[in-house]
Amino acid sequence: MPTLRKHSRKRDAIIACIRETKAHPSAETVYSRLRAEFPKLSLGTVYRNIALLREEGEIVSVGFVGGEERFDGVTSDHPHFVCDCCGAVIDVELSGPPRGFEDEINRNYGFEVSHRKLIYFGKCTDCIEH
Amino acid sequence: MPTLRKHSRKRDAIIACIRETKAHPSAETVYSRLRAEFPKLSLGTVYRNIALLREEGEIVSVGFVGGEERFDGVTSDHPHFVCDCCGAVIDVELSGPPRGFEDEINRNYGFEVSHRKLIYFGKCTDCIEH
DNA sequence: CTCTATAACGATAATAATTATCGTTGTTGA
DNA sequence: TCAACAACGATAATTATTATCGTTATAGAG
């Protein structure tokens, strides 16, 4: 494990790729999109940097969809919708934020809650129509 | 894909195993526990029956923890706590149920929400102490 | 009770996402 | 300019899960 971090153009491109889209891409998707710009990019490099960015808190995991882990460049707590049909991962905005309950859980169970995930599942508009 | 379902003692044992514990076991854990009773049980049989039971709605997936999918025999909507340290999956009861928002999402986005998952992450009591 | 159709099984091979290895390349600071 | 070492590409290894296939168990008909 390196003690010092060096700058890397590939890592910049990977985090930019994850931040620029709302699609919550997988490692494979990031790899596919960046191959145009970096023809000899390695999939291992994408996985390695995703792990680094996650350790640094630059990205978070939304969860696994169809066997692939999906990532989000927006790290603030917000819910997602996952289409069981096509695998789309979509941000949802609710009229009011769902109550936290973190303090209640810490008090009642003696845990230290650090974050949470709220995911709704079902069929997206496209999959309902087709 | 079979059209008729036959009774199976192994399948009975698998669903009983998942229902009898609050640990939200993985396929591997179910396999380990049932080998005492069925010495030549195959791991493939566990995976096959978990897939069947999930199709029938007898069990649900809590999500992936440390690369393994974890299952719950209680299919009603309730939140879970996952320890990032030891991987424990624990039911939590909240003073009031978190608001659903399903109707609001359906109305605003045109989706058909069928279910949701609410998971809190952090450190459990044991991992805080040790 | 016996027979037949076929669901379920065990053993094992195959798949697919992810992680590790290792020799080479790129970055940084002296 | 150079040395130290982080990051890389290529690829092998790992790991959870799924598929295959010949055998066994279940259930309904006769």
- Residue A78 touches partner B, C-beta closer than 8 Å: no
Does the model's pTM come out above 0.85?
yes
Is A123 touching B (CB cutoff 8 A)? yes
pLDDT tens for residues A75-128?
Answer: 999 999 999 999 999 999 998 777 789 999 999 999 999 999 999 999 999 999
User: Is residue A17's pLDDT more than 90?
Assistant: yes
B84 Cβ under 8 Å from any chain A Cβ: yes
Q: Among residues B110, B35, B21, B103, which one has the least CA distance to residue A125?
A: B110
Mean per-residue pLDDT for B10-32? 98
With contact defined as beta carbons under 8 Å apart, do A23 and A31 qualify? no
Give dist(CA B13, CA A55) in Å, integer.
Answer: 40
Give pLDDT, residue B100.
81
CB contact under 8 A, B98 and A95: no
Same domain, A88 and A114: yes
Based on the fold, state whether residues B115 and B54 are members of the same structural domain.
no
Q: How many CB atoms lie within 10 A of CB B20?
A: 11
Residue whose CA lies closest to nucleotide D16 C1': B68
What pLDDT is attached to residue B2?
A: 80
The span from the CA of A94 to the CA of A88, in Å, is 18
Q: Residue B112 pLDDT > 90, yes or no?
A: yes
Q: How far is the CA of B39 from the C1' of D23 (A)?
A: 18
Q: How many whole angstroms from its chain centre is CA A40? A: 24
pLDDT band at B96 (very low <50, low <70, confident <90, very high): confident
Same domain, B6 and B22: yes
Q: What is the mean pLDDT of residues B3-8?
A: 92
B74–chain A Cβ distance below 8 A for any pair: no
Query: What are the distances in angstroms from CA A104 to CA A44, A71, A113, B120?
Result: 41, 28, 10, 12
Query: Which tens digits make up the pLDDT trace of B53-71?
Result: 999 999 999 999 999 999 9
Strand D contact at CB of residue A40, distance < 7 A: yes
- Whether residue B94 sits in one domain with residue B66: no
Q: Any atom of strand D under 7 A from CB of B102?
A: no
Residues in chain A with CB shorter than 8 Å from the CB of B101 are 79, 94-95, 98, 120
Is any atom of strand D within 7 angstroms of residue A36's beta carbon?
no
For residue A55 the two structure tokens come to 């350790």
Domain count, chain B: 2
Q: Which two tokens stand for residue A22?
A: 């709302």
Dihedral, A93, B119, B52, B15 alpha carbons, nearest 10: -150
What does the pLDDT look like over A56-72, one tens digit per residue?
A: 999 999 999 999 999 99
Residue B56 sits in the same domain as residue B88: no
CA of residue B7 to C1' of nucleotide D12, angstroms: 44
- State which residues form the domain around A43: 1-73
Domain end point (choices B57, B74, B91): B74
